[in-house]
Structure 1
Amino acid sequence: MNIPPPQQQPREFLRALFDAAVARALPDVVMREHLPPPPKGRTLVLGAGKAGGAMAAALDAMWPHDAPLSGLVVTRYGHVPPAYKAHGGRIEVVEASHPVPDDAGREAARRIAALTKGLTPDDLVLCLISGGGSALLSLPADGVRLEEKQAINRALLKSGAAIDEMNCVRKHLSAIKGGRLGAMCSPAQVVTLLISDVPGDDPAVIASGPTVPDPTTCADALAVLKRYGIDVPSHVRAGLEAGRFETPKPGDERLANRSVRMIATPHQSLEAAAALARRAGIEAHVLSDEIEGESREVAKVHVALAKEIARRGSPFRKPCVILSGGETTVTVKEKGGRGGRASEFLLSSAIALQGEPGIHVLAADTDGIDGVEDNAGAIVTPDTLARAEAAGKKARDFLDRNDAYSFFDAIGDLVVTGPTFTNVNDFRAILVV
């Protein structure tokens, strides 16, 4: 890969780092070494997530053509690799809604559950799981309507709850997540191939852990709902209070014959970006791949570090790039605003930087979609605020109404990639020259 000179082409340099991070997590790059041998019986492929289509296509290409292979995977609308969508393969891939589930996701989850019937100890189930699977694999628990799950999901997304908190609630209101899919597959061997999009890479949190035991409880889910003031229908609350929605726990015999293989993680992608920067002669520092918190507040901490580097050469000497990942949150205060975690981080960064010379920032979601918009993220440069003011745009007004997308769109600084066909969560890079 050609590396743009960071001092002369900071935008292009930061974009190259993002592209390197994404490339490190592509299924056709990372999957092969994690595949088990074909079983004595049949191989069934089940899965869900934003990377599900690409994972299915990669597996289909790598699996021996003389070995039986079939199954069903659900991914987000528009996230099936074009070649696989056009020509198909041995694994069916269907599309559904994210981040709020829809009827297509419910039907896909119902069909996935039905495919587990009749499995034997000689059979192998390959579960392809990536971020986004919580919404895409939506089969409500008995007595819970899809419309109720949709409303609860919307409230969680706007609440500022962390991903593990959201997924605690989601799995307890599901008939297929929180280890239930894994239990359905018993007595077959189950191998779960995971692309992580969560801080800490916990298999029980990624896509709400459909194939692994769930250590959380109905009481934990109730505590999350109380913490964020989320109202749920009385019969849903009663089901949680009575423990009727409890999930399979560690030690459940139905989940004994399983293995989990992490094929791509946020840390690996950050290290790939760091390696590219170093090849360009720029020292790179990975802060963490587990950063959480309100996007606008996380931005202030990152900017304070960048300013310290720029002004005092501490704790790192410039030129350098600082990298981080994780999953921040946005507490939505006003209706009508557009933008996701990355865009809000950037708008808060621009305000905190106030045109500080020599500091450029890129933040983007590695799946290519920041929230529900058509951008992956955006870029902040030393003249961001000046250009916005010349266009009559006041950054603080846009931040107050959670409208970061509109701000960066107005000045032409959105980063638009389209679906990347993977998902290792937030990517942030701050270049100090």
Structure 2
Amino acid sequence: MLDPDDKAFLTDLFDAAITAANAETVLRGNLPEKPKGKTVVVGAGKGVAQLAAAFEELWGEPVEGVVVTRYGYATPCQNIRVLEAAHPVPDAAGLVAAVALLDSVSGLGADDLVVALITGGGSALLPAPPDGMTLEDEQQLNDALLASGAPISVMNAIRKHVSRIKGGRLAMAAFPAQVVSLIVSDVPGDVPSQVASGPTVPDDADQAQALAAISSWNIDVPVHIVEHIRTNPAPSPSDPAFGGHQVDVVASARLSLEAAAARARVLGIPAVLLSDAIEGEAREVAKMHGAMTREVLMRNQPFSAPCVLLSGGETTVTLKGAGRGGRNTEFLLSLAITCDGLTGFTALAADTDGIDGSEDNAGAFIDGQTAGRLRTLGHDPSALLAQNDAWAAFDALGDLFSPGPTGTNVNDFRAILIK
């Protein structure tokens, strides 16, 4: 059985990370100057409703606009409409939301201000297939990207070429209004154009790069979508329509991990922040973390115990089986196998939005006896991992971590407490 004190400690660190990305906290010092004209708020993502409500409270004057979040993640606003749609697979409600955002910024003047609140998850929530394509096309593309194991930067380079709203197109629709993008980053490196496929922030990834990514990652993209990418360039950052726009990353994995590290030190445990931008296959990233955990436990290097190892970023899962689970539970199951039989550590990995994959848990807890407990229950840890069925493993153990929607999204949170 997992040590309840260790679980409480790791949960405390997770809570500190979430608090650092609290909507009111991150917006308070980042409000733009008020315009001569009207203020229109648009946005998308799993934490956008909380941002919109906080913005209304802090702005102090009437605003209008519309934002879209995942089903079950809505928070009431005074004047901003909050719509809900599906994530991670787009649905018809997302189509309606994308049109509503584009409509809300049309016909604005140079004295008007558009405030774009963008958080992770916004890409799936804003399906807007270009002329000649359907929602089913975008769903098929999304499924292929999610199954490919490609990093988020590759996915977004492709997605933005098959959309009427991504890749800066929402900002172009607002021209000549001033656009200020306030972004909660869930991507490694905190590149603004990568968050939610950059509806208000274009990037330099061109058609050739998108097509090369499809080929090099062997992504199963239908021929007609490939042809569309080949013949339809995405907006360029040098387009005059983006002149004078302001882009600020107001919350990120780095800031949240630093808050967790500070909390650990208050609780008497030295913290080591490994990186906030780790990418790669979840099960392989786990092996690296496991090797480091073993080194600390057995040789007291490269860090001295006790300590807590913290890391963030966005791992990926290449789907090979039909199981349930997300990248954080897959990371943990691989870590449990890597560190099978070790004593003296407990780990938590969780998605900071409160949902890991398609289930209702954010992640799970493990220690060195997790794999052994699974075998006692009649489960083969390696077989479960091969089927991408980490959720079933931790559900059987009762070790899922389910805090519910957090109101933010700054990517993965991983903490390994070493006694």
TM-score, with structure 2 as normaliser:
0.98
CA distance in 2, matches of 1:236, 1:277: 48
CA pair 275-334 structure 1, distance change in 2 beyond 3 A: same
Bigger drift between 212-221 and 193-202 goes to 212-221
Equivalent position SS for 1:285: strand
2: distance between equivalents of 1:192 and 1:231? Answer: 33
1:154 aligns with 2:143: yes
Contact kept in structure 2, 1:377 and 1:414, CA below 8 Å? yes
Match of 1:174 in 2: 163
**Once the 2 structures are TM-superposed, how far is the Cα of residue 383 of structure 1 from its aligned partner?**
2.3
Matched, 1:397 2:383: yes
- Structure 1: how far apart are the matches of 2:3 and 2:143? 43
In the alignment, is the contact (CA less than 8 A) between 1:187 and 1:257 conserved in 2? Answer: no
The structure 1 residue matched to 2:100, chosen from 94, 98, 111, is: 111
1:42 aligns with 2:38: yes
Distance 1:314 1:235 in 2: 54
Alignment match of 2:184 (pick from 175, 186, 195): 195
Q: Which runs of 5+ in 1 are unaligned?
A: 1-5
Task: Give 1:360's aligned amino acid.
Answer: T
Per mean C-alpha deviation after superposition, the further-off stretch among 55-64 and 360-369 is: 55-64
Moved more, 379-388 or 272-281: 379-388
CA shift at 1:8, angstroms? 7.5
RMSD: 1.3
Secondary structure of the residue aligned to 1:31 is helix
Q: CA deviation at 1:258?
A: 0.7
Distance (Å, rounded) in 2 between the aligned partners of 1:80 and 1:275 = 30
Q: 1:385 aligns with which of 341, 351, 371?
A: 371
Cα deviation for residue 386 of structure 1 reads 2.5
2:66 counterpart of 1:72? yes
Which residue is 1:376 aligned to? Answer: 362
| Among 264, 268, 272, the residue aligned to 2:255 | 268
Distance 1:111 1:218 in 2: 28
Instruction: With the length of structure 1 as denominator, give the TM-score of the two structures.
Output: 0.94
Q: CA deviation at 1:229?
A: 2.4
Query: What is the distance in 2 between the residues matched to 1:78 and 1:89?
Result: 18
Counterpart CA distance in 2 for 1:148 and 1:294 is 26
Give the corresponding residue for 2:348: 362
2:285 equivalent among 293, 298, 303 = 298
Q: Which residue in the other structure is 1:224 paired with?
A: 213
AA in 1 matched with 2:325: G
**Among 194, 197, 201, the residue aligned to 1:212:** 201
Contact 1:48 1:137 in 2 (8 A): yes
Q: Is the 8 A contact 1:188 1:257 kept in 2?
A: no
In the aligned structure 2, how far is the partner of 1:342 from the partner of 1:230? 23
Aligned residue number for residue 417 of structure 1: 403
Q: Distance in 2 between matches of 1:176 and 1:45?
A: 16
2:294 corresponds in structure 1 to 307
Q: State the distance in 2 between where 1:222 and 1:125 align.
A: 32
Question: Residue 138 in 1 paired to residue 124 in 2?
Answer: no
Which of 48, 56, 60 pairs up with 1:60?
56
2:153 maps to 164
Structure 2 residue aligned with 1:13 = 9
The whole-number CA distance in structure 1 between the counterparts of 2:334 and 2:107 is: 54
Equivalent AA in structure 1 for residue 169 of structure 2: R
SS in structure 2 at match of 1:356: coil
Where has structure 1 moved over 6 Å in runs of 4 or more? none
In the TM superposition, residue 230 of structure 1 has moved relative to its aligned partner by 2.6
SS in 2 for 1:118: coil
Distance 1:250 1:317, change over 3 A: same
Q: 1:338 to 1:7 in 2, by over 3 A?
A: closer
Structure 2 counterpart SS, 1:418: coil
Deviation at 1:236, TM superposition (A): 2.1
The question of whether the paired residues in 1 share the 8 Å contact of 2:162 and 2:228 is answered with no
In the alignment, residue 133 of structure 2 is paired with which amino acid? V
Aligned residues: 418
Q: Structure 1: how far apart are the matches of 2:222 and 2:414?
A: 39
How far did residue 219 of structure 1 move? 1.5
What does residue range 223-302 of structure 1 map to in structure 2 within 5 Å? 223-242=212-231, 244=232, 246-302=233-289
Alignment partners' CA distance in 1, 2:201 and 2:400: 38
